[in-house]
Amino acid sequence: MSGWTAKRFWKDATVVPADGGFTVHLDGRPVRTPLKAPLVLPTRSLAEEVAAEWQAQEGRIDPETMPFTRTANSAIDKVAPQRAEVAEMLAAYGASDLLCYRAEGPDELVARQAAAWDPLLQWAAQQLGAGLVTTVGVMHVDQPYDSLESLSARVEALTPFQLSAFHDLVAISGSLVLALAVAEGRLSAEEAWDLSRIDESWQIALWGEDEEAAEIAARKHAAFLQADRFYGLCG
């Protein structure tokens, strides 16, 4: 029916052990995904975050206030059935990683990018076995096959739940290297966010910040931090 919205019908949202992990019950009824699959979370901590979102709903259910639930639903309904394809899509970011494409000028921006990004590329080469080539401008540069294979292996090892959060870390930052640095503890999410926005910060310092652009950036920032929290609770 047009205009229909779900309303809260339960008193308590609780975490309950389930086959393969933990689920959430609403007054004893197990929560299911939009495709009616059992909502089974891999860890109790993640299940507790999902339960807290359901418990916090008042009156009309607002999915926008339930990021843990949304990401968990995506992991089960969308990522798990096509895990290989999702991993391949995210791994492909390594072939055009943000950190590899540098400004032609001015000199201060060039220096700022090098100081911020070169240490991460060195880390990728040494710790991930993925040395990447940098270039000036936006024209595509081919990356070493072995390096791309090493990056792909890291992504392919992730679970559907991890991949669901990792997707946002990659897509929002534009960098597979930054996302892996967060996932593997090399960077905090805040550090990675700042490193992904070297160019934007430069432009803002020069010309000031557009209000609409600032609002979009704030939403992306919140989503990036949320993805990091979800990833960390996957076990």
Asked, for residue 76, whether it belongs to a domain, the answer is: no
Residues 195 and 227 in one domain: yes
Residues 61 and 154 in one domain: no
User: 29: domain CATH number?
Assistant: 3.30.2180.10
| 212: pLDDT strictly greater than 70 | yes
pLDDT average, residue stretch 161-190: 98
State CA 207 to chain mean position distance: 29
Check residue 3 and give its pLDDT.
39
- How many folded domains does the chain comprise? 2
What percentage of the chain carries pLDDT values higher than 70? 98
Residues 59 and 104 in one domain: no
Residues 114 and 181 in one domain: yes
Residues 54 and 93 in one domain: no
Helix axes 198-207, 107-127, angle to 10 degrees: 160
Q: Which structural domain, as residue segments, surrounds residue 223?
A: 82-232
- pLDDT one-digit tens code per residue, 63-82: 899 999 999 999 999 999 99
pLDDT average, residue stretch 3-15: 78
Distance between CA 66 and CA 116 in Å, rounded?
A: 34
Q: Helix or strand or coil: residue 153? A: helix
Residues 97 and 125 in one domain: yes
Kindly give, in sequence order, each residue whose CB lies less than 8 Å from that of residue 95, ignoring residues fewer than 6 positions away. 142, 143, 148
pLDDT average, residue stretch 31-47: 97
pLDDT average, residue stretch 99-103: 97
Residue, of 154 and 61, whose pLDDT is higher: 154
- Nearest partner of 129 among 169, 83, 87, 184, judged by Cα: 184
**Phi, psi for residue 35 in degrees, rounded to 5:** -95, 15
Asked, for residue 99, whether it belongs to a domain, the answer is: yes
Residues 45 and 113 in one domain: no
Asked, for residue 75, whether it belongs to a domain, the answer is: no
Asked, for residue 143, whether it belongs to a domain, the answer is: yes
User: 165: domain CATH number?
Assistant: 1.10.3580.10
Distance between CA 185 and CA 197 in Å, rounded?
A: 20
